[in-house]
Amino acid sequence: MKKIIPVLIAIVLIIVVAGVGFGAKLIEKYSYSKERADLAEYFGIEGSDDVPIILQDERVEEHARLWDGVCYFDFATVHKYFNDRFFEDTRENVLIYTLPDAIVTSVIGSQTVAVGGSESSREYVIARYEGDMLYVAVDFVKEYTNFSYALYTEPNHMQVYTEWNERQVATITDNTQVRYQGGIKSDILTDVSEGDKVVVLEEMETWTKVKTEDAFIGYVENKRLSEKETETPTPVTDYTEPVYTSNTRDHKINLAWHSVASIGGNDTLSEMMAGTKGINVISPTWFALYDNDGNFTNLASADYVERAHNMGLEVWGLIDNFTNEGVDTYEVLAGLSTRSHLISGLIDTAVAYDLDGINIDFENISLDAGEPFVEFIRELSIQCRKNGIVLSIDNYVPMGYNDHYNRKEQGIVADYVIVMGYDEHYKGSDTAGSVASIDFVENGISNTVAQVPANKVINAIPFYTRIWETKGTTVDSQAVGMEMAQQYIKDHNITTAWDEKTCQNYGEYQSGDSHYEVWLEDEDSIRVKLNIMNKYGIGGVAEWKLGFEVDSIWDVIEEYVNQP
């Protein structure tokens, strides 16, 4: 017996040790980790002034900065998420924001802002450079933008809302932790207390992805949540969206461009209008940028305007950026001073000659000139609005590569956005083709009305046809008016037939090594285009150009204009 007792004790001790080890493993397996996540790593904080952004319910790649207790967005972030109406004028070191009736300016690096000439100060630097990067104070952006934010500093991060949609929330039932992932061994992000509210982002079997009131996004056990309900957050109440009034007309526009190349060209108005029907706007090509200082050449005639008004026509003077050589559109539009000089000149001229509108025909705008061009339109619209002058902008058919024309913004600040529904194929094209096939025209209209109110959209139709010659690999063409195109068909005994793909009458013939083709613009092709325009309920039609048409085309156009 004495020998057995030690053995039994040893066995018991082994069992106890094994039980303790097994229990420890059980405790380790089922106990909650107390390890805390590295929050700087979790948020991606890159320095003491770095502020990660939680936009709605997601952390975005862009970060804000914190200087002297003031939070700043970089300029690209302002444009991407908040408000692309802010303009960085690098020429004159000015931050600009354009309202419907005034220009807001602040010299970069200052605390002063001027609104229509009236100055005030902020308690912080409004905009500042760090290296080449422009930063704008969040509070200043907020003065002109509909969003809310909350800044947290332990650690640095901010919650931003630009939308206030319905969301599901839940109440925390016991003091617990929000963890990096769904599992008791996952690191702790933050603590939450009984009664705290969290936003429910994704519910799983035993864990739920939530966002805390101070914008930590992680996981909480389902058993710690109760009283799930749907709520609508309170939107911002300290912001009012600016109202842009328009000089749009309550009838369809029928605008004809009158090509005037010299003062003597003004005398052709009566001749050009003879035989026309239904025109209510004449747009003479009077103005052209002359130099990089914002000056322009002027062929305007008070007598012309008086005669046009007596005919019942509005006069919208056109200015282009391509008639005079050596003009750099970017140079003209990039600086506040040159933009202001150009705008003052246009408005003073319009008032002096009693013009009803201004038509902007700036073409081949480079990518870097896109934002200055749109800012020019914004600033010009202020003065047009004050003086009751219609502002219309000519645009190529939307094709992706010209998105920098920003038709959406044009549709807000200007009165009419004109789609130049032609030049699908042009002199210099690699292949022969239609000037304005029906699919090309409809795509231009549909893509524009997707961004611009339909009543502000005008589609321009061509009164010209291109006669194409293909010789080997060489392609060339000449543009001719409707009458000359018909004469060409007759002179060369070309048989034409209706082409369903382009909705045009097409003809071709061979002469020696040359192959000639023509897609006619005539009553048939124009009627189909006008039917498409009526389908989209747009604001009217424009024609390039007077003198290229046959009189019979006006019956077709007048029918469209008179349709309700």
At 188, the amino acid letter reads I
Q: What is the pLDDT of residue 82?
A: 98
Alpha-carbon distance of 113 to 219, in angstroms, equals: 45
Cα–Cα separations (whole angstroms), residue 270 to 267, 350, 355, 384, 481? 7, 22, 18, 28, 19
Tell me the H-state helices in 246-301. Answer: 269-273
Facing residues of 231 across strands? Answer: 167
Q: What is the pLDDT of residue 386?
A: 98
> What average pLDDT values come out for the chain (564 residues) when binned by 10 residues?
64 60 51 95 96 98 97 98 98 98 98 95 98 98 97 97 96 97 96 97 96 98 94 87 96 98 98 97 98 98 98 98 97 98 98 98 97 98 98 94 95 98 96 98 98 98 98 97 98 98 98 98 98 98 98 98 93
CB atoms within 10 A of CB 231: 11
Give CA angle at 175 (170, 179), nearest 5°.
75
CB atoms within 10 A of CB 244: 16
Q: What is the pLDDT of residue 401?
A: 85
Q: What is the pLDDT of residue 26?
A: 46
Q: What is the pLDDT of residue 16?
A: 56
Q: What is the pLDDT of residue 89?
A: 97
pLDDT tens digit string along 280-314? 999 999 999 999 999 999 999 999 999 999 999 99
How many residues comprise the chain? 564
Cα–Cα separations (whole angstroms), residue 495 to 313, 431, 488, 556? 40, 22, 11, 24
Pairing between strand 390-396 and 357-361? parallel
Alpha-carbon distance of 84 to 344, in angstroms, equals: 25
**233 in Cβ contact with 211 (< 8 Å):** no
pTM, whole model, 2 decimals? 0.92
Which domains does the chain carry?
Answer: 41-157 (no CATH), 164-231 (2.30.30.40), 246-416 (3.20.20.80)
Q: In this structure, what are the phi and psi dihedrals at residue 108, rounded to the nearest 5 degrees?
A: -65, 130
